[in-house]
């Protein structure tokens, strides 16, 4: 329900401002997925959101500020964006999780490849990525409890990421990819000590 000014009935500006900012962040993620970060302009982001470039610059200093803010938005909304949640991992349905990882990578290939590069070449992107990864792994480990070591969890997630990188790079034929998917699911299941593969 919108918060309105008592006298005029207008929606309070802060709420509208937050909606506009969120609209720009979602637009940025959409454009990065289509064109990649390097080829996306602030004009592209604003236009895709149905807003003027001037509005975009009211909320963000520059293109990099939009990138960092959109990464934060994506990280905070990862469960919604990816269609996964900690309970999926706790349930032990590794194939289901791996399918969602694959889908997320496939749908955001250009963005993923650029972010992988940027996290190694841009300190701000790298710091944000490390912070998010650490927080996400800690949250998952907390849910799993003592049933798995933190190091095994890190290894399991890294293995799924590595499989997804092979998937989007196209360096394996379909049969090899299917075998690698099965081996990844079995190995991750073993690391997480889950019987459901």
How confident is the model over 56-81, as pLDDT tens digits?
A: 999 999 999 999 999 999 888 876 76
3-state SS assignment for residue 4: strand
Dihedrals φ, ψ of 4, to 5°?
Answer: -115, 155
Predicted model pTM: 0.77
Q: Give residue limits of the domains in the chain.
A: 10-63, 77-197
Task: Answer yes or no: CATH 1.10.10.60 is held by domain 10-63.
Answer: yes
Please report which confidence band the pLDDT of residue 159 belongs to, taking 50, 70 and 90 as the band edges.
very high
Distance, in Å, from the CA atom of 178 to the CA atom of 187, rounded to the nearest integer, reads 14
Q: How many CB atoms lie within 10 A of CB 195?
A: 8
Q: Find the helix packing angle between 109-121 and 150-169, rounded to 10°.
A: 120
Report the alpha-carbon angle 103-107-113, nearest 5: 110
pLDDT at position 197, please?
Answer: 43
34: left (phi over 0), alpha (psi -120 to 50) or beta: alpha
- 81, 7 in Cβ contact below 8 A? no
Q: Which residues are 145's β-sheet partners? A: none
CA 68 to chain centre: 12
Q: How many CB atoms lie within 10 A of CB 145?
A: 8
Residue 175 has pLDDT above 90, yes or no: yes
């Amino acid at each position: 329900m919108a918060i309105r000014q008592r006298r005029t009935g207008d929606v309070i500006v802060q709420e509208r401002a937050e909606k506009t900012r969120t609209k720009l962040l979602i637009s940025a993620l959409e454009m990065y997925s289509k064109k990649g970060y390097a080829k996306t302009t602030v004009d592209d982001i604003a236009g895709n959101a149905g807003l003027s470039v001037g509005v975009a610059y009211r909320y963000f200093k520059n293109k990099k500020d939009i990138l960092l803010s959109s990464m934060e938005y994506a990280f905070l909304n990862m469960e919604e964006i990816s269609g996964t949640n900690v309970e999926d991992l706790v349930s032990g349905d590794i194939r289901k999780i791996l399918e969602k990882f694959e889908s997320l990578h496939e749908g955001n290939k250009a963005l993923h490849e650029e972010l992988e590069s940027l996290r190694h070449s841009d300190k701000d992107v790298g710091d944000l990525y490390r912070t998010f990864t650490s927080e996400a792994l800690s949250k998952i480990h907390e849910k799993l409890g003592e049933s798995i070591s933190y190091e095994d969890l890190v290894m399991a997630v890294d293995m799924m990421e590595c499989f997804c990188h092979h998937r989007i790079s196209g360096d394996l034929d379909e049969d090899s990819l299917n075998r690698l998917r099965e081996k990844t699911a079995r190995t991750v299941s073993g690391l997480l000590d889950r019987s459901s593969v």
